[in-house]
Amino acid sequence: MLKATDPRDPQCDAVNRTTLHERLASEFQRTQLLHQPLSVIVIHLPQLEMATEQFGPRAHQGLLDALCRTTRHRTRHHDFLGRQGPATFWLVLPSTGQSGAQMVQGRLEEAFHRTVLVDTGRLQAVTGLCQRLAGESWSRFEQRLLATTRRLTES
pLDDT tens for 12-67 read 999 999 999 999 999 999 999 999 999 999 999 999 888 878 888 888 899 999 99
pLDDT at 74: 93
Torsion, Cα of 32, 33, 35, 38 (10° steps):
-30
What average pLDDT does the segment 1-14 reach?
74
Pairing of strands 38-44, 88-94: antiparallel
> Does 155 have pLDDT greater than 80?
no
Lowest average pLDDT, out of 68-77, 79-88, 116-125, goes to 116-125
> Does 83 have pLDDT greater than 90?
yes
pLDDT at 144: 98
The fraction of the chain above a pLDDT of 70, given in percent, is: 96
* Residue 57 host element (H or E): helix 57-72
pLDDT at 48: 87
The rounded distance, in Å, linking the Cα atoms of 104 and 15 is 19
* Residue 93 host element (H or E): strand 88-94
The structure's pTM equals: 0.93
